[in-house]
Amino acid sequence: MKSTLKRTWAEIDLDALDYNYQTIRSHIGAKTKFLGVVKADAYGHGSVQIASRLQELGADYLAVSSIDEAMELRFNGITMPILILGHTPKEQVDRLICFNITQAVTCKAKADEYNAEALKYGGTLKVHIKVDTGMSRLGYLCNDEHFDSGIEGIVEACQLPGLQAEGIFTHFAMADEEDSMSQAYTQKQFALFQNVIHAVETKWGQTFSLHHCANTGATVDHPETYLDMVRPGLLLYGYGTHAKKWHLQPLMSLKTVVSTIKVYDPGTHVSYGGIYTTNKKTRMGVIPYGYADGFLRSLSNRCQLMSVDGPVQQCGRICMDMAMIDLTDKWNVKVGSEIEIFGPHRSLDDWAALAGTIPYEIVCAVSKRVPRFYLQSGKIISKELLLRM
Which pLDDT belongs to residue 78?
98
Q: How confident is the model at residue 385 (pLDDT cuts 50, 70, 90)?
A: confident
The 10s digit of each residue's pLDDT in 73-105 is 999 999 999 999 999 999 999 999 999 999 999
Q: Give, rounded to a whole angstrom, the gap between the first and last alpha carbons of the chain.
A: 10
Q: Helices marked H in 45-164 — which ranges?
A: 47-57, 67-74, 93-98, 108-121, 147-158
Residue 374's closest CA among 4, 3, 53, 119?
53
Strand, helix or coil for residue 237: helix
How many helices, marked H, and strands, marked E, lie in the chain?
A: 14, 21
Residues of the chain with CATH 3.20.20.10: 32-236
Asked if 80 and 55 count as a contact pair (C-beta separation under 8 A), the reply is: yes
The 10s digit of each residue's pLDDT in 180-192 is 999 999 999 999 9
Residue 104's closest CA among 6, 35, 58, 41?
35
Annotated binding-site residue? 137 = yes
CATH of domain 252-384: 2.40.37.10
Residue 83's closest CA among 143, 51, 127?
127
pLDDT of residue 151 exceeding 90: yes
The 10s digit of each residue's pLDDT in 321-352 is 999 999 999 999 999 999 999 999 999 999 89
The 10s digit of each residue's pLDDT in 40-53 is 999 999 999 999 99
At 19, which helix (H) or strand (E)?
helix 14-28
CATH of domain 32-236: 3.20.20.10
Residues of the chain with CATH 2.40.37.10: 252-384
Q: How confident is the model at residue 389 (pLDDT cuts 50, 70, 90)?
A: very low
Residues 6 or more apart in contact with residue 31 via CB below 8 angstroms = none
Which residues are catalytic, by number? 39, 272
Residue 102's closest CA among 67, 72, 132, 131?
67
Give the integer Cα–Cα distance in Å for 213 and 122.
Answer: 32
Taking each helix axis from N to C terminus, what angle separates 180-204 and 147-158, rounded to the nearest 10 degrees?
Answer: 50
31 CB neighbour count, 10 Å cutoff = 7
Burial-class residue 252 by CB neighbours within 10 Å (0-12, 13-18, 19+): buried
Which pLDDT belongs to residue 226?
98
The 10s digit of each residue's pLDDT in 289-326 is 999 999 999 999 999 999 999 999 999 999 999 999 99
Residue 220's closest CA among 248, 197, 253?
248
Residues 6 or more apart in contact with residue 100 via CB below 8 angstroms = 81, 126
Burial-class residue 189 by CB neighbours within 10 Å (0-12, 13-18, 19+): buried
